[in-house]
Amino acid sequence: MSENKVPSGIDRIVGQRLRWRRRELKLTQEQLGEKLGLTFQQVQKYEKGVNRISAGRLFEMAQVLGITITYFYEGVDDLLDAPPSLAVQDGDHPPSLPVLDNEAMELVTAFQKIGDKSLRRSLLETIRAAAATTEVEPTA
């Protein structure tokens, strides 16, 4: 595989966004694959960032999912600049995004639906404060 064909951090982010939207619409990988003329395995590889999504395929996915292409790239700069502690190192592989469980995905989906920026900021600060009180100190 040539160097420019190797998936990058952005491929993983786009794949994660694909997964979020599919789950938000309550579609299985198989159902999305049928709408796109793909197997569920191909959808799975796109979601994991194993396979790169071409521009044409991304456009088709956006149409099927009822979103604009920009959805896949919202906040990407922040995620790519995230501290290494948020990324999982796996030997020779580049850092990847943290794995989100169903509750975290539901939280993100619900949070994105809040239009009031002040309310969003307030909720984020509340969640950060709650997380800070439950952080476990590393042991030596």
Same domain, 67 and 109: no
Q: 32-41: which pairs have CB atoms within 8 A and are 24 or more residues apart?
A: 32/64, 32/65, 35/64, 36/60, 36/61, 36/64
CA gap 18, 21 in Å, rounded: 5
Higher pLDDT, 30 or 127: 30
Same domain, 112 and 80: no
Q: Which domain holds residue 39?
A: 3-98
Q: How many domains does the chain have?
A: 2
Confidence band, pLDDT 50/70/90 cuts, at residue 113: confident
- Which amino acid is located at 1 in the chain? M
Same domain, 93 and 108: no
Same domain, 94 and 31: yes
Same domain, 57 and 71: yes
Same domain, 16 and 73: yes
Same domain, 62 and 34: yes
Q: Are 75 and 99 in contact (CB under 8 A)?
A: no
Same domain, 58 and 9: yes
Q: Which of 41-45, 55-59, 117-121 has the lowest mean pLDDT?
A: 117-121
Q: Are 87 and 97 in contact (CB under 8 A)?
A: yes
> What average pLDDT does range 112-132 have in this prediction?
88
Write the secondary structure of 9-74 as one string of H (helix), E (strand) and C (coil). Answer: HHHHHHHHHHHHHHHHCCCCHHHHHHHHCCCHHHHHHHHHCCCCCCHHHHHHHHHHHCCCHHHHHC
Taking 90 as the threshold, does the pLDDT of residue 60 lie above it?
yes
Q: What is the CATH number of the domain that holds 42?
A: 1.10.260.40
Say what angle helices 9-24 and 55-65 make with each other, to 10 degrees.
20
Same domain, 21 and 67: yes
Per-residue model confidence as pLDDT tens digits over 76-100: 776 666 554 444 333 333 344 455 6
Taking 60 as the threshold, does the pLDDT of residue 62 lie above it?
yes
- Compute the mean pLDDT over every residue in the chain, rounded to the nearest whole number: 79
Taking 70 as the threshold, does the pLDDT of residue 51 lie above it?
yes
Q: Are 101 and 109 in contact (CB under 8 A)?
A: no
Question: Burial, 138: exposed, middle or buried (Cβ in 10 Å; 0-12, 13-18, 19+)?
Answer: exposed
- In this prediction, residue 98 carries a pLDDT of 55
Same domain, 79 and 136: no
Question: Burial, 32: exposed, middle or buried (Cβ in 10 Å; 0-12, 13-18, 19+)?
Answer: buried
